[in-house]
């Protein structure tokens, strides 16, 4: 059954809920608001939504536990987590817990809209997969996951540890599928420092919105794949091999790997 409404915002800050309502209704979307997790869960159970935007810091249950509760109830609605406590650890934890995105506060209208549009495409892909598989799990989307030897940060980016101590970094097939026709990649430069959970690259879409890709590793960029900047279509064709973004010298690889998902587990 198609959800009755588009977006549920779970947040006790009026300035945030009003901002989301203003931006999203201007984009033709329906938006409901809940001030805490209990009210939010009640609305989800009554109406159903295509997408949920939830604050992390709430009075009753935090956003992480709210996400866990949704999944325990086999509610696979995509969730975007947002918080004013915008540490990289929170971003990594959010994606590791199953959120499809993490938006630090304060955010701009374009940042919100970019995340929402990706989330709604994700919801459509998920609904199509569930209709075919008759399975309500959130991992039923028919996408091309990274190879078994890779690690991923949520569904945003991937890492491949090399024998020489470096690691290749790229963007996942699923993230690319949720972006409306990528037209350009803005990449870091050789020598730049990347931080796990922060944006490592920006994808510009055909609609003009920019989508930040949260990176999977902390370290120094030692090589940039120049072909990506020259031909974004190459990343879409082959995101896990020829379409890599960087070669990085990690500063704490084992620590970073502990916060990623081994892609070998995706095939179990």
Has residue 152 got a pLDDT over 60? Answer: yes
Has residue 268 got a pLDDT over 70? Answer: no
Q: What is the dihedral sign for C-alpha 140, 122, 88, 210?
A: positive
Is the CATH number 3.30.930.10 carried by domain 5-133? Answer: no
Mean pLDDT (the chain) is 91
| CATH 3.40.50.2300 residue ranges for the chain | 5-133
Q: What's the pLDDT at 2?
A: 64
Contacts 24+ apart (CB under 8 A), 31-38: 31/5, 31/6, 31/7, 32/5, 32/7, 32/8, 33/8, 33/9, 34/8, 34/9, 34/10, 35/10, 35/11, 36/10, 36/12, 36/60, 36/61, 37/10, 37/61, 37/62, 37/63, 37/65, 37/66, 37/69
Average pLDDT over residues 245-262: 96
Q: What's the pLDDT at 128?
A: 84
| CATH 2.40.50.100 residue ranges for the chain | 151-267
Q: How confident is the model at residue 86 (pLDDT cuts 50, 70, 90)?
A: low
Q: What's the pLDDT at 138?
A: 44
- pTM for the model: 0.91
Q: Selecting from 3.30.70.920, 2.40.50.100, 3.30.310.50, 3.30.300.30, what CATH number does the domain 151-267 have? A: 2.40.50.100
* Percent of the chain residues past pLDDT 90, beyond the cut: 75
């Amino acid at each position: 059954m198609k959800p009755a409404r588009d977006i549920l915002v779970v947040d006790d800050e009026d300035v945030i809920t009003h901002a989301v309502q203003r931006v999203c209704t201007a984009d033709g979307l329906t938006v409901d608001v809940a001030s805490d997790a209990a009210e939010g869960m009640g609305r989800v159970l009554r109406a159903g939504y295509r997408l949920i935007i939830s604050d992390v810091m709430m009075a009753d249950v935090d956003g992480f536990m709210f996400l866990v509760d949704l999944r325990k109830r086999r509610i696979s609605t995509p969730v975007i987590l947002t918080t004013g406590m915008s540490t990289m650890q929170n971003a990594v934890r959010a994606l590791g817990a199953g959120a499809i995105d993490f938006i630090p506060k304060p955010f701009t209208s374009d940042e919100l809209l970019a995340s929402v549009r990706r989330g709604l495409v994700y919801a459509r892909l998920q609904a199509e997969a569930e209709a075919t598989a008759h399975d309500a799990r959130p991992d039923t989307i028919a996408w091309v996951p990274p190879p078994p030897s890779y690690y991923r940060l949520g569904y945003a980016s991937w890492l491949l540890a090399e024998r020489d101590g470096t690691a290749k970094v790229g963007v996942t097939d699923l993230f690319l599928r949720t972006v409306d026709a990528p037209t350009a990649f803005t990449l870091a430069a050789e020598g730049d420092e990347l931080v796990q959970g922060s944006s490592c690259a920006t994808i510009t879409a055909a609609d003009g919105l920019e989508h930040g890709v949260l990176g999977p590793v902390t370290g120094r960029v030692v090589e940039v794949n120049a072909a990506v900047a020259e031909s974004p279509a190459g990343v879409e064709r082959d995101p896990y091999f020829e379409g890599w973004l960087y070669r990085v010298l990690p500063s704490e690889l084992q620590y970073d790997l502990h916060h990623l998902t081994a892609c070998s587990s995706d095939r179990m």
